[in-house]
């Protein structure tokens, strides 16, 4: 009898412990997921929705590219899920990615009239130092590009500097609202530590609103619209991509950017497939001293929304670009190609077509007029 009673007590205690463990696990998941609803961002409403509806890019409730695009093309005999799990591609570096801290220089230097430097922090996050001003592009400092800190693509290298170590900024540009370009935690850190305005495509201001960015620091632009910031003219230009942070697609616009000073000009693609708009932008706004070109996360399953490296060279030439600096590679694993394939293909194409190229390590400052020679640094960690 005593043994049976002990067994019942043990079973009851076991059930209670499992129940407590289950509740603790649920509480832990709830804690981790607490920011997910906010990270999804806001929705267009009121005056913002009315302005979006007047855009030439907006119809039937969503934004559109000039030409038809597809974000996923089925290929007979190819299973992308199986390839993602069992593919033989080397999608991560085999050794730590070398990081540098930006060297001394930049807008604090004595002669800034003709200054133009680029500091690439990884993926698309890049600092433009132009004529004594600083413009930050698509900053993402979080460990994952995801609404959750628990799941989603994780960084393959640390940021080369802390976000609190960034110099004073004059403008922050966002190309579109995907998680690898617009990150809630990074925006909130910049809101607290910087005073620069956020320049964003139409509708993206709804996300910033939800995250506490005041209206006076949000400047929303349609394609071909410009805004003056600290003596710079910043123009939103066309791109061929899509948007969305949840189940709803294309509720905000995507763009490329032109940053023009009195003497120097920079072009940034954002994310985009190759399209005839590059030649139009080059004719209207070029030539450019430097282009910051997306080269990674491509695949033949989505050929119209991300450029292959060879297409990025085509676009650079269409834009009448001077120095080519690749972005959107090395930091997040977002496609099925080898980690180093984008820059290997780019280097070969640039040499074949006599395109000036700089491939900095994350954190390395590129002086556009005296760029470092391409040394293949990534090959030792590929």
Q: For residue 22, is pLDDT > 80?
A: no
What is the predicted pLDDT for the residue at 34?
67
Return mean pLDDT, the chain.
Answer: 91
What is the predicted pLDDT for the residue at 29?
44
Which element (helix H / strand E) includes 257?
A: strand 256-260
Confidence grade of residue 24 (pLDDT, cut at 50, 70, 90): very low
Which residues have a Cβ under 8 Å from the Cβ of 80 and sit 6 or more positions away?
A: 301, 336
Q: Spell out the alpha helix ranges (H) of 74-204.
A: 80-86, 184-193
201: nearest Cα among 160, 120, 255, 161: 255
CA distance 98 to 182: 25
Tens of pLDDT along 216-256?
999 999 999 999 999 999 999 999 999 999 888 999 999 99
What average pLDDT does range 119-126 have in this prediction?
A: 98
What is the predicted pLDDT for the residue at 247?
87
The winner for highest mean pLDDT among 2-6, 21-25, 329-333 is 329-333
Q: What is the pTM of this model?
A: 0.90
């Amino acid at each position: 009898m005593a043994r049976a009673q002990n067994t019942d007590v043990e079973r009851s205690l076991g059930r209670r412990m499992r129940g407590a463990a289950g509740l603790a696990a649920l509480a832990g998941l709830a804690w981790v997921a607490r920011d997910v609803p906010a990270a999804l961002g806001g929705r267009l409403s009121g005056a913002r929705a009315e302005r979006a509806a007047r855009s030439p890019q907006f119809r039937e409730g969503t934004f559109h590219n000039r030409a038809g695009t597809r974000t996923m093309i089925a290929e007979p005999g190819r299973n992308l899920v199986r390839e993602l799990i069992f593919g033989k591609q080397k999608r991560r570096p085999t050794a730590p990615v070398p990081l540098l801290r930006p060297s001394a220089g930049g807008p604090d230097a004595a002669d800034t009239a003709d200054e133009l430097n680029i500091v690439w922090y990884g993926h698309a996050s890049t600092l433009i130092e132009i004529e004594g001003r600083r413009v930050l592009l698509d900053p993402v400092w979080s460990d994952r590009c995801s609404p959750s800190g628990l799941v989603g693509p994780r960084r393959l290298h640390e940021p080369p500097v802390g976000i609190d170590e960034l110099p004073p900024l004059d403008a922050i540009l966002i190309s579109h609202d995907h998680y690898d370009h617009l990150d809630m935690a990074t925006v909130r850190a910049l809101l607290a530590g910087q005073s620069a305005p956020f320049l964003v495509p139409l509708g993206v201001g709804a996300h910033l609103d939800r995250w506490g960015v005041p209206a006076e620091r949000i400047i929303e632009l349609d394609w071909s619209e410009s805004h003056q910031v600290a003596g710079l003219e910043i123009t939103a230009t066309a791109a061929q991509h899509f948007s969305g942070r949840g189940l709803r697609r294309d509720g905000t616009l995507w763009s490329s950017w032109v940053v023009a000073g009195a003497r120097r000009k920079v072009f940034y693609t954002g994310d985009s497939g190759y399209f005839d708009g590059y030649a139009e932008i080059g004719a209207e706004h070029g030539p450019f001293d430097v282009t910051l070109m997306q080269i990674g996360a491509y695949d033949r399953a989505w050929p119209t929304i991300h450029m292959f490296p060879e297409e990025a060279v085509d676009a650079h030439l269409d834009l009448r670009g001077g120095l080519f600096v690749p972005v959107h590679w090395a930091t997040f694993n977002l496609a099925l190609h080898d980690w180093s394939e984008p820059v290997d293909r780019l280097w070969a194409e640039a040499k074949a077509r006599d395109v000036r190229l700089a491939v900095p390590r994350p954190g390395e400052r590129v002086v556009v007029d005296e760029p470092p020679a391409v040394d293949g640094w990534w090959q030792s960690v590929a």
